[in-house]
Amino acid sequence: MFENLCTLPLHADVFATALHPSEPLLTVGLSNGHVQTFRLPPSTSSDDSVDGDTSVLSDGKGYLETTWETKRHKGSCRCLAYSHDGSAMYSAGTDAIVKYFDPENGKVISKMAIPTTTTQADAPTLLHVLNPQSLLLGTDSGALHIVDLRDGRPGKKPAQTHFPHADYVSSVTPLPPTEESTSGFSKQWVSTGGTTLAVTDVRRGVLVRSEDQEDELLGACFVHGLGPKKMRGNGMMAIGSGSGILTLWDKGSWDDQQERIIVDGGKGGGESIDCVVAVPKDLGLGQKVVCGVGDGSLRVVDLVSREVDRSINLRHDDVEAVVSLAFDCENRLISAGGRTVKVWEELSELQASKNDDDDEEEDEDSDDESEEEADKGESSKRAAESDSDDDEDDSDDDGVEEMKRRAKRRKEAKSSKLGPMGAHGIMGFSGLD
User: Which has the closest alpha carbon to 213: 250, 261, 247, 262?
Assistant: 247
CB 428 within 8 A of CB 417: yes
Mapping DSSP onto H, E and C, the string for the chain reads CEEEEEEEECCCCEEEEEECCCCCEEEEEECCCEEEEEECCCCCCCCCCCCCCCCCCCCCCCCCEEEEEEECCCCCEEEEEECCCCCCEEEEECCCEEEEECCCCCCEEEEEECCCCCCCCCCEEEEEEEECCEEEEEECCCCEEEEECCCCCCCCCCCEEECCCCCCEEEEEECCCCCCCCCCCCCEEEEEECCEEEEEECCCEEEEECCCCCCCEEEEEEECCCCCCCCHHHCEEEEEECCCEEEEEECCCCCCCCEEEECCCCCCCCCCEEEEEECCHHHCCCCEEEEEECCCEEEEEECCCCEECCCCCEECCCCCCCCEEEECCCCCEEEEECCEEEEEEEHHHHHHHHHHHHHHHHHHHHHHHHHHHHHHHHHHHHHHHCHHHHHHHHHHHHHHHHHHHHHHHHHHHHHHHCCCCHHHCCCCCCCCC
> Measured between alpha carbons, how far is 113 from 14 in angstroms, rounded to an integer?
23
**Worst-scoring range by mean pLDDT, 125-129, 307-311, 330-334, 429-433?**
429-433
Q: How confident is the model at residue 178 (pLDDT cuts 50, 70, 90)?
A: confident
Query: Is-contact 129 155, C-beta < 8 A?
Result: no
Q: How far apart are CA 110 and CA 101, in angstroms?
A: 7
Q: Which residue has the higher pLDDT, 205 or 358?
A: 205
pTM for this model (two decimals): 0.75
Higher pLDDT, 192 or 411: 192
What spatial distance separates the first Cα and last Cα of the chain, rounded to whole Å? 23
Of residues 197 and 353, more confidence is placed in 197
For residue 131, give the nearest of 85, 164, 80 by alpha carbon.
85
Q: Which of 35, 133, 111, 130 is nearest to 80 (CA)?
A: 35
Percent of the chain with pLDDT over 70: 73
Q: Angle at Cα 197 formed by Cα 192 and Cα 200, nearest 5°? A: 90
Instruction: Give the pLDDT confidence of 130-166 residue by residue, as tens digits.
Output: 988 899 999 999 999 999 998 878 888 999 999 999 9
Q: How many CB atoms are closer than 10 A to CB 223?
A: 19
Query: 290: burial class by Cβ within 10 Å (0-12, 13-18, 19+)?
Result: buried
User: Residue 239 — pLDDT band, cuts 50, 70, 90?
Assistant: very high
Residue 249 forms beta bridges with which residues? 237
Residue 237 carries which side chain, given as an amino acid letter? Answer: M
**Three state DSSP letters for 5-65:** EEEEECCCCEEEEEECCCCCEEEEEECCCEEEEEECCCCCCCCCCCCCCCCCCCCCCCCCE
Closest CA to 22 of 343, 345, 330, 329: 329
- How does pLDDT run across 292-344, given as a tens digit for each residue? 999 999 999 999 999 998 888 899 999 899 999 999 999 999 999 999 999 99
Query: CA separation (Å) from 143 to 124, 146, 160, 192, 389?
Result: 9, 10, 10, 12, 93
pLDDT score for 62: 54
pLDDT at 412: 54
- pLDDT average, residue stretch 259-287: 88
- Angstrom distances, CA of residue 362 to CA of 101, 349, 418: 50, 20, 16
Residue 269 has a CB neighbour count (10 Å cut-off) of: 15
If you average pLDDT over every residue of the chain, what do you get? 80
Q: How far apart are CA 212 and CA 215, in angstroms?
A: 8
